Homo-oligomer: A and B are copies of this chain.
Amino acid sequence: MKRILNKETIKEAGKEAKIAGWVQTVRAHGKIVFFDLRDRSGILQVVFIPGSAAYEAMKEIKPEWVVEITGIINQRPEKMVNPNLETGTVEMEAKEMKILAKAEPTPFDYTEKDIQANLPVLLDNRPLTIRNEKIKAAFKLGEAVADSFRKTLKSEDFTEFQSPNIVPAVAEGGAEIFKIDYYKNKAYLAQSPQLYKQIMLGAFERVFTVAHVFRAEPSVTTRHLSEYVSLDAEMAFIESWRDVMGTAEMVIRNMVKDISDNCKKELGLYQIEVPKIGEEIPKIKMREAQQIIFERTKRDHREEPDLDPEDEKEICDWAMEKHGSDFIFITHYPTKKRPFYTFADPEDPDYTLSFDLLFRGLEVITGGQRINEYEKLIQNIKKWGNDTKDFSFYLQAFKYGLPPEGGFAIGHERMVKQFLGLSNLREATPFPRDMERIDQRLSLTKKKDGKKEKEK
């Protein structure tokens, strides 16, 4: 007999079936014993009645053991229906049972909706805690975010490519780069697929990639990971940088719809609403945002080159109050804060034709137009203090003609964090990497360190 999933049993009442899964709980009522059996589709109640072969086999079973059970699916009487279970209208009466795997006692009850342990402990025990319904829902939502990104861009004739992780030089400058021993040479982990996206435009005009990128962040915050996933798109033949922002807006609009259609269960577990996105996402210049923040809070950041986390929260509050939107585009960041390939506004060269998207208080997208003129790019590489020789491969793309273009990058985990209202980016990915952790904590002696506290 072929195994069926727990959720499929509701259509099999009166029939024999085979199911398999993890024993989540064991309850006895007199001589009758009940299991909650968990598989990937949900939970089914299984009843063991004295006299069956399954009843004898059941006696040694403990929670988390994995079993295969054959039995009869019975419709439950109306008053016994469990409205909290998808399969609550039926149960299985076990006839035979086979043990598929034994398990040791778990260090805490991970089946509770919210496990009673702090985040570092949850992460130390990730291979167990990913089994928790609420925790794994975040990864299911992560899958949906990437799927939606891919679907929208494919429908717009973008081509997906694989951007390399091993790179020869530092694309965006900065010290936060990991070095690799590469045979007898030096190499680095990519901080972004930026240069490769631009190169690929010459072949496909519109490209995207789902890329792992790496930042040697020298601090532990709730908003940064050392390895994260970047949903990166780039498009040529734009009329203006606003075309790029328009595509980013389309991606986000479709994503909100796809998540709202396909992730009801996941949003429900986190008791969070579908984000509000109006007819058009509000768009304001960074200097305007700073003025608004100043007027609202008397915090004067009007000369700052960027918004800090508190500013991002404040301007998102404003966007919700004024426009009823969970999203806001901030545009025209100062030129000196952006990478060498950023396109300066011809009307106001101290500012760039660039944008960030903030979502419920956090930057989740950054994008803009790029310099596509070969000579100008060479000038800027020098101006930013780089050696053009390090960029000679990349520069070929422009030497042989590349039209006006731009692109954007979505922080995958950040998007998941904001959709679900997670308090820490580490909850948005199954295997977070930071300066203190690769799977296990790198140094248990740091346990009492002040920085560690921030992670909680």
Task: Tell whether, in the assembled complex, residue A168 and residue B430 are in contact, meaning their CB atoms are under 8 Å apart.
Answer: no
The residue on B at minimum CB distance from A437 is B168
Task: Tell whether, in the assembled complex, residue B66 and residue A430 are in contact, meaning their CB atoms are under 8 Å apart.
Answer: no
Task: Tell whether, in the assembled complex, residue A166 and residue B403 are in contact, meaning their CB atoms are under 8 Å apart.
Answer: no
Q: Is A378 an interface residue (CB 8 A)?
A: no
Closest Cβ of chain B: how far from A1's Cβ, in Å?
A: 11
Q: Is A155 an interface residue (CB 8 A)?
A: no
Q: Is A101 an interface residue (CB 8 A)?
A: yes
The residue on B at minimum CB distance from A146 is B160
The residue on B at minimum CB distance from A137 is B203
A168 / chain B contacts, CB cutoff of 8 Å: 438-440
A182 to B237, CA, bound (A): 40
Task: Tell whether, in the assembled complex, residue A178 and residue B180 are in contact, meaning their CB atoms are under 8 Å apart.
Answer: yes
Given contacts A167-B438, A429-B162, contact A396 B127 (CB under 8 A): yes
A20 to B237, CA, bound (A): 7
A131 to B204, CA, bound (A): 8
Given contacts A166-B226, A237-B20, contact A401 B66 (CB under 8 A): yes
A430 / chain B contacts, CB cutoff of 8 Å: 161-162, 196, 199-200, 203
Q: Which of A183-191, A295-303, A305-313 has 4 or more CB atoms under 8 Å from chain B?
A: A183-191
A349 to B167, CA, bound (A): 43
Q: Is A206 an interface residue (CB 8 A)?
A: yes
Q: Is A216 an interface residue (CB 8 A)?
A: yes
Q: Is A394 an interface residue (CB 8 A)?
A: yes
Interface size class of A (residues with CB under 8 A): 35 or more
The residue on B at minimum CB distance from A394 is B127
Task: Tell whether, in the assembled complex, residue A199 and residue B130 are in contact, meaning their CB atoms are under 8 Å apart.
Answer: yes
A66 / chain B contacts, CB cutoff of 8 Å: 401-403
Task: Tell whether, in the assembled complex, residue A183 and residue B393 are in contact, meaning their CB atoms are under 8 Å apart.
Answer: no
Contact of A125 among B106, B203, B396, B438 (CB under 8 A): B396
Interface residues of A in 178-234 (CB under 8 A from B): 178-183, 185, 187, 189, 196, 199-200, 202-206, 210, 212, 214, 216, 218, 226-227, 229
Closest Cβ of chain B: how far from A371's Cβ, in Å?
A: 11
Proximity string of chain A (110-136) to chain B, C-beta cutoff 8 Å, 1 when within and 0 when not: 000000000000000111101100001
Interface of A with B (CB < 8 Å)? 3, 20, 22, 39-40, 64-66, 68, 100-104, 106, 125-128, 130-131, 136, 139-140, 142-143, 146-147, 157, 159-168, 178-183, 185, 187, 189, 196, 199-200, 202-206, 210, 212, 214, 216, 218, 226-227, 229, 237, 372-374, 392-394, 396-404, 412, 429-431, 433, 435, 438-440, 442-443
A-B contact pairs, 21 of them (CB 8 A): A20-B403, A40-B203, A40-B206, A65-B401, A102-B374, A103-B401, A126-B396, A127-B397, A130-B199, A139-B159, A143-B159, A143-B160, A143-B161, A147-B160, A162-B430, A166-B214, A178-B181, A183-B218, A183-B442, A185-B442, A185-B443
